[in-house]
């Protein structure tokens, strides 16, 4: 799940889960983060295998919830600021925060599935974009490049680097390829709370922003569009779509900053 830009958060509208501080995890806490991440990764692997023409987003939601609970965790998004699903299911021009329901997936669609799970008090959060049957080559390229931009960001998440290094890496990758880069939403710190400091923008200046320290856990989650970067929110107050109706892709991992570099906690097939 993504976070609004922090400029939108003031003392009066701060969600209860916004901690306003960066947390450094102990070794035991990192072990719990790894357990949460592994459950999210396994759930995404299962969801990817389950996507096919004819399935509804609500059925995918049920598959995810059953899997998360069977692994001893609870869905982290369900009820978060009133969100009604276990997963966010966003189709085609929907970027993030789509509500799962009766929508039937069709051949040629692309679906973005965002999953969060809590175990032992700690949260994992990750997202994938998946083709429904055969998709247009431009849609496949968008998904492949969005995932590659995530990995460009992860490669920059070295201890001693700064948040701006991550944003600059994602932005550079996206801009070189001519995509619309969603700027109003981005990644975040994560731990006992779904959205912790710092905000992890998908754009930025190298060497600027919060220092990345060993023991921090963050989510990096680029959203790239085939069209322009402008977004709007639908009347359900959740679903974020591209303003021009063009396709959008989204990938996300939770990672820990370690002495050896970034460690992805939400590995999936
Ligand atoms: Mg997230």
In angstroms, what is the span from residue 92 Cα to ligand 1's centroid?
19
Q: Give the Cα separation of 79 and 199 in Å (integer).
A: 22
Q: What is the pTM of this model?
A: 0.94
Mean of pLDDT values over 6-20: 45
Distance 259 CA to ligand 1 centre (A): 23
Taking the CA atoms of residue 127, residue 132, residue 135 and residue 138 in that order, the dihedral angle to the nearest 10 degrees is: -10
- Residues, CB-to-ion distance under 5 Å, ligand 1: 1, 125, 219
Interval 80-98: pLDDT, tens:
999 999 999 999 999 999 9
- In eight-state DSSP terms, residue 87 is E
pLDDT tens sequence across 151-197: 999 999 999 999 999 999 999 999 999 999 999 999 999 999 999 99
- The per-residue pLDDT for 12 is 39
Angle at alpha carbon of residue 225, lines to 64 and 112, rounded to 5°? 5
Q: Give how far the C-alpha of residue 118 lies from the chain's centroid of Cα atoms, to the nearest Å.
A: 15
- The string of pLDDT tens digits covering residues 19-71 is 557 999 999 999 999 999 999 999 999 999 999 999 999 999 999 999 999 99
Stretch 97-101: mean pLDDT: 98
Terminal C-alpha separation, the chain = 20
Distance (angstroms) between ligand 1 centre and the Cα of 221 equals 7
Taking the centre of ligand 1 as the mean of its atom positions, its distance from the CA of residue 167, in whole angstroms, is 15
Structure token digits, residue 65: 């919830």
Nearest Cα neighbor of 256 from 174, 161, 189, 178 is 189
Condensed to tens digits (0 to 9), the pLDDT of residues 218-264 reads 999 999 999 999 999 999 999 999 999 999 999 999 999 999 999 99
For residue 20, the model assigns a pLDDT of: 56
- Both tokens of 67, joined, read 């899997």
pLDDT above 90 covers what percent of the chain? 92
Task: Provide the token pair at 102.
Answer: 């009766």
For residue 18, pLDDT over 80 is answered with: no
Taking 80 as the threshold, does the pLDDT of residue 16 lie above it? no
> Three-state SS across 1-47?
CCEECHHHCCCCCCCCCCCCCCCCCCHHHHHHHHHHHHHHHHHHHHH
């Amino acid at each position: 799940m993504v976070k609004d830009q922090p400029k939108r958060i003031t003392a009066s509208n701060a969600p209860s889960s916004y901690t306003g501080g960066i947390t450094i995890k102990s070794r035991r806490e990192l072990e719990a983060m790894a357990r949460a991440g592994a459950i999210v990764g396994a759930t995404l692997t299962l969801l990817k295998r389950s996507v096919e023409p004819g399935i509804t987003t609500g059925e995918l939601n049920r598959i995810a919830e059953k899997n998360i609970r069977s692994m001893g965790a609870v869905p982290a998004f369900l009820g978060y600021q009133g969100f009604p699903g276990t997963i966010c299911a966003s189709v085609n021009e929907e970027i993030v925060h789509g509500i799962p329901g009766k929508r039937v997936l069709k051949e040629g669609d692309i679906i973005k599935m965002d999953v969060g799970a809590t175990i032992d008090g700690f949260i994992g959060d990750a997202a994938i974009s998946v083709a429904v049957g055969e998709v247009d080559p431009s849609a496949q390229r968008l998904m492949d490049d969005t995932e590659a931009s995530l990995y460009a960001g992860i490669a920059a998440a070295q201890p001693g680097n700064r948040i701006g290094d991550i944003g600059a890496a994602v932005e550079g990758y996206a801009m070189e390829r001519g995509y619309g880069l969603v700027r109003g939403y981005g990644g975040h710190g994560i731990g006992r709370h779904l959205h912790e400091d710092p905000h992890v923008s998908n754009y930025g200046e190298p060497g600027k922003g919060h220092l990345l320290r060993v023991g921090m856990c963050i989510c990096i989650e680029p959203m790239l569009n085939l069209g322009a970067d402008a977004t709007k929110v639908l009347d359900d107050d959740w679903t974020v779509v591209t303003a021009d109706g063009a396709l959008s892709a989204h990938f996300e991992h939770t990672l820990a900053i370690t002495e050896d570099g970034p460690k992805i906690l939400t590995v999936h097939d």
